[in-house]
Chain A
Amino acid sequence: MSEPLPPNGRATLFVSRLAVSQFRSHAQTRLALDGRPVALHGPNGSGKTNLLEAVSLLSPGRGLRRAKAEELARSGVGAGWRVRAEVATPRGARAVALTGEPEGRRRVEIDDKAETQTALGEVAPMLWLTPAMDRLWIEGPEGRRRWLDRAALSFFPGHAEASLAYERAMRERNRLLRDGPNDPRWLDALEARMAEHGLAVARARDAAAARLRGAFENAKTLFPLAEIAIVGGMGSGLEKGARAAPGDGAQASGAMDDFRAALARSRREDAAAGRALTGPHRADLSAVFAPKGVDARLCSTGEQKALLISLTLANARALAADATAGAAPILLLDEVAAHLDPDRRAALYDEIDALGAQAWMTAAEPGLFDALGGRAQRFAMSDGPDGSVLEPCDA
C-alpha cells in the first residue's frame, strides 16, 4: 500500500529555497536545498534557532518560539523582516512570502496572492521539537494541548480555522457574560457556534491521536512506544459523541446539542469564573512511557525527551503513509542530537532517512552529525559583524 520511498531518502515535501532578511540575527541569509535533511552547526547564539524559527513561520501560528510580532524584526534596523520560501510538494512547487511590517502586522502571500495565515496549513505540514519543550510533560496542559493541535493541524489543515472560530465565539461569550446584557438569545447563538466549532476541534484532535496510535503499531523504531489519551475538555457525558466516527452525523449532532446544553446550564458558574469551565480549550494530553508503563509526568528527563521524539516520528510516519498528505512533514529538530547517546542518534538519522523527511537539525558541535555522512546537507553558522553567517560545508 505504501509508496516506494524516493531514491536516497530525499523528501518529496521540502523547502527548496529560503531567503531570510532582517529577521532576528539574520541580515540576509539564503539557502538552496535538495530535499535531504539540513544539518546546521555553530556556536551558541550564532542564529541556528532563529533560522528554524523563520522556517516555522511557513506554518500557521506564531512559530516555534511563539514570539510576539515585534520581536522578529532585526533590532536596530527599523525595517520589516521578510521570509521567502519555495516549497516543493508532491502537488508541485509553492511560493510562500511572509512580510513582517514595522508596525507588527504580518502579511502572507502564497503563489503571489495575499492569503490568511490559516491558509499556510494547506502548503506544508510541519512539526517541531525545541529545548523549550523539554518541560512539556511536567508543566501545565497548554503546552500539551498546543502540541496536540499541531499534530491535528498536520493531518487536517482546517483545524487552525476551527480553533480560531471556537476561540472567537468563546471570547465573545466570556465578554457577554462579564459585561452583559444578559440576553439569552445572544448567548444561545454564541453557544451554538462554540458547540459547532468546539466539536470540530475535539474530533480533529481525536482523529489525530488515533493516527498516532496507528503509527505505533508494527512500527520499526528504536524510540519508546507511547500510549496517549486525550483527557477532559468536553465533559464526560459528551466524550462519546465527540469521539464518534467523523461520518456519524447523528452522534455528532447529539454531542453538539449536549455541549450546547452544558454551556447553557453553566452560564452562572462561567460568569463567576470569568471563563468557560468546559470545552475543548480545557483538554489535556496524557502519555504513558510504554516500556515501563509509567506516566510521562513521572519519567526521567531523558525518557520524556525520548517520548517526544517518538511521538514526533510517529506523527511523521502517519503523514508519510497518509494518502492525502502523501509525504513526510518538514521537521524542525532544535538541539535534539545533543541529547541522544550515539546509538539513538544514529537511529534517529536512519529513521529520518527512511521517512524521506526534510529534517532541519541543529547542534553546537559538527561531530554530532557525523553519523549522517552524505545523507544530509550541512551548513556552518557563525556570528559575524553583520549578523549570522551561513556557509555550506561538506564535512
Chain B
Amino acid sequence: MDDGGEIQRLIALMAKLPGLGPRSARRAVLALVRRREALLAPLAEAMATVAERARLCARCGNLDTTEICAICRDPERDDGLICVVEEVGDLWAMERAGAFRGRYHVLGGVLSALDGVGPDDLRIPALAERAATAREVILALNATVDGVTTAHYVADSLAALGVPVTSLAQGVPVGGELDYLDDGTIGAALRARRAL
C-alpha cells in the first residue's frame, strides 16, 4: 500500500467501513477536515471514548460503554419479557421499530457446524438463567436455516423451565434478516408472534 501520509492513512481506514469505498472515504475525510471543529474533533473524541470503553453488557450482550447497558438499567421496561436476537444490530432494529418494551438477550450469532459455531459459543446458558424468572421469551431470530435451527434449539433448551416461548411469525420472509426489515414489518411480526 502506498504511504501517502496521515491523511491517506485515514482515508484507507475509512474505506474499510461497510458502505464506504475509496471514493466515498475520500469525500468523507475532506468533509471532516473542512469542519474540523464542528465535526472532526468531536468525532475523534467520541471514537476514542468508544475505543476505550465499548463492551458487551454483562446481562444481555448489548453493546454499550457501561457494564450493564442502558436498556437493562431502564426501570420503565418490563422484566417479564425477554426478546432473543442474534446480533446487536438486530437489537437496534427492534429498538428502531419501537414496538417492544421488555428486555433483550443477544446470542452473538447462530448455530452453524459449517462455520464452527456451537451452543457453547452462544450465550444460551445465561439466557436459561434469566428466562427462569420471565413471563415470556420471544425469539426474534432471522428466518434463515441457521436462525430457525437456533430458535428450535433455544426453545428446546428452555422447555424444562415451563416459560412460554414464542417466535416472530408473520412478515419475516424466509432468509430474511431482521436488520433489513422496515420498522412497520417488525412491529407486525411482533404482534403476530406465535407459540413454539
Q: Please give the residue numbers on chain B whose beta carbons come within 8 Å of chain A beta carbons, in ascending order.
A: 111-114, 118-119, 145-146, 148-150, 152-153, 156-157, 174-175
Report yes or no: A188 in contact with B114, Cβ–Cβ below 8 A. no
Chain B neighbourhood of A183, CB < 8 A: 118-119
**17 residue pairs bridging A and B, Cβ less than 8 Å apart:** A171-B114, A172-B112, A172-B113, A172-B114, A172-B146, A172-B149, A179-B113, A181-B118, A185-B153, A185-B156, A185-B157, A188-B156, A189-B149, A189-B152, A192-B149, A192-B152, A193-B145
Q: Which residues in chain A, 121-169, are within 8 Å of chain B measured between CB atoms?
A: 161, 165, 168-169
Chain A neighbourhood of B175, CB < 8 A: 116, 161, 165
Report yes or no: B149 in contact with A190, Cβ–Cβ below 8 A. yes
Chain A neighbourhood of B118, CB < 8 A: 181, 183, 186
**For residue A188, which residue of chain B has the nearest CB?**
B156
Interface flag for A176 (CB, 8 Å) = yes
Chain A neighbourhood of B146, CB < 8 A: 168, 172
Interface flag for A344 (CB, 8 Å) = no
Q: A189-B149, A192-B149 are in contact. List 18 more A-B contacts (CB 8 A).
A: A116-B175, A161-B174, A165-B174, A169-B149, A171-B114, A172-B112, A172-B146, A175-B113, A175-B114, A181-B118, A185-B153, A185-B157, A189-B152, A190-B149, A193-B145, A193-B148, A193-B149, A193-B152
Chain B neighbourhood of A197, CB < 8 A: 145
**For residue B157, which residue of chain A has the nearest CB?**
A185
Report yes or no: A165 in contact with B145, Cβ–Cβ below 8 A. yes
Number of A-B contacts (CB under 8 A): 50
Chain B neighbourhood of A172, CB < 8 A: 112-114, 145-146, 149
Chain B neighbourhood of A173, CB < 8 A: 113
**For residue B118, which residue of chain A has the nearest CB?**
A181
The residue in B111, B112, B113, B174 that gathers the most chain A C-beta atoms within 10 A of its C-beta is B113
Q: Please give the residue numbers on chain A whose beta carbons come within 8 Å of chain B beta carbons, in ascending order.
A: 116, 161, 165, 168-169, 171-173, 175-176, 179, 181, 183, 185-186, 188-190, 192-193, 197
Please classify the interface of chain B as helix (H, G, I), strand (E, B), loop, or mixed, using the class held by over half of its residues. Answer: helix
Chain A neighbourhood of B174, CB < 8 A: 161, 165
Given the interface pairs A161-B174, A161-B175, A168-B145, the reply to whether A189 lies near B153 with Cβ below 8 Å is yes
**Bound state CA distance, A176 and B113, in angstroms?**
6
Chain A neighbourhood of B149, CB < 8 A: 169, 172, 186, 189-190, 192-193
Report yes or no: A186 in contact with B119, Cβ–Cβ below 8 A. yes
Report yes or no: B111 in contact with A189, Cβ–Cβ below 8 A. yes
A180: min CB distance to chain B, Å: 9
Chain A neighbourhood of B152, CB < 8 A: 188-189, 192-193
**For residue A197, which residue of chain B has the nearest CB?**
B145
Report yes or no: A186 in contact with B145, Cβ–Cβ below 8 A. no
Report yes or no: A169 in contact with B111, Cβ–Cβ below 8 A. no
**Bound state CA distance, A188 and B150, in angstroms?**
11
Chain B neighbourhood of A161, CB < 8 A: 174-175
Chain B neighbourhood of A185, CB < 8 A: 153, 156-157
**Bound state CA distance, A179 and B175, in angstroms?**
26
**For residue B159, which residue of chain A has the nearest CB?**
A185
The residue in B148, B149, B156 that gathers the most chain A C-beta atoms within 10 A of its C-beta is B149
B148: min CB distance to chain A, Å: 6
**Bound state CA distance, A263 and B83, in angstroms?**
31
**Bound state CA distance, A390 and B148, in angstroms?**
49
Chain A neighbourhood of B156, CB < 8 A: 185, 188-189
Nearest first, the 10 A-B pairs at minimum CB distance are A189-B152, A175-B113, A176-B113, A168-B145, A189-B149, A189-B153, A165-B145, A172-B113, A185-B156, A169-B145
B162: min CB distance to chain A, Å: 17
**Bound state CA distance, A194 and B135, in angstroms?**
31
A166: min CB distance to chain B, Å: 9
**For residue B111, which residue of chain A has the nearest CB?**
A186
**Bound state CA distance, A105 and B115, in angstroms?**
20
**For residue A196, which residue of chain B has the nearest CB?**
B148
Chain A neighbourhood of B113, CB < 8 A: 172-173, 175-176, 179, 186
